[in-house]
Amino acid sequence: MVDILAIGVHPDDIELNCSGTLLHQMAQGSIVAIVDMTKGELGTRGNAVLRLKESKKAAQILGVKYRENLGMADGWFRNTKENQLKVIQMIRRYRPKVLICNAIKDRHPDHGRASELVSEAAFYAGLSKISTKDKGKVQLPWRPLATYHAIQDRYIKPDFLVDITPYHSQKMESILAYGSQFYQAGQKGPETPISGKSFLLAIDARMRDFGRVLQVDFAEGFTVERSIGVKNLLDLI
């Protein structure tokens, strides 16, 4: 059982969109797991084998013990019963209190499609008449208490922000673990929308922009599926 399960459609999505928040939560004692839905094999640079190696390196940098890959088809996966059952198995295996997934809509069409798939699977994971097994054992139903969508490439007005200032450098280090994807001096290969130095600057600028709202250096933003309740108005300050 973990406190937070972060599911991204591509290896590197979690690093880009919510790794600072995961580091923040782990520093407070939360247990975290990451699941990648595909191996990112359609990426212009690198290949599936390399991306898996990079994702393991990134997990080590973040200090995340649990990371799995569902092996769905990059780009071609759809919101099907088969794929939902794969996600349901992960939700029931890790039994998270909070589920984090991709942005509801983004530049990459996989992000929004994955967001919808995971959100629906989170609901169905709580239905007792949907049967799944894990290593031969029947899994018990489990539904996360909340599902949050991390903001990644295109701007979406966040419903809440998390101050990640102390973890900014570690987050950037985990992103750069994907050497096949992101800018590094002297690197060769075809140019892509994410391979230039400007992309890393844009990621940094987004965190600074969100941080400015909180009057801190860096923050990450999320949207919610239902209104958040609070016990004390002072918790919102």
Is 23 a domain residue? yes
For the chain, what is the HEC assignment?
Answer: CCCEEEEECCCCHHHHHCHHHHHHHHHCCCCEEEEEEECCCCCCCCCHHHHHHHHHHHHHHHCCCEEEEEEECCCCCCCCHHHHHHHHHHHHHHCCCEEEECCCCCCCHHHHHHHHHHHHHHHHCCCCCCCCEECCEECCCCCCCEEEEECCCCCCCCCEEEECHHHHHHHHHHHHCCCCCCCCCCCCCCCCCCCCHHHHHHHHHHHHHHHHHHCCCCEEEEEECCCCCCCCHHHHC
Is 150 a domain residue? yes
Residue 189, pLDDT score: 82
List the domain range (segments joined by +) for residue 80. 4-228
Residue 27, pLDDT score: 98
Is 211 a domain residue? yes
Is 88 a domain residue? yes
Is 156 a domain residue? yes
CATH number of the structural domain spanning residue 12: 3.40.50.10320
Is 177 a domain residue? yes
Average pLDDT of adjacent 10-residue blocks, the chain of 237 residues: 97 98 98 98 94 97 97 98 98 98 97 98 98 96 98 96 98 96 84 92 97 98 94 88
Number of structural domains the chain divides into: 1
Residue 237, pLDDT score: 79
Is 235 a domain residue? no
Is 234 a domain residue? no
Residue 175, pLDDT score: 97
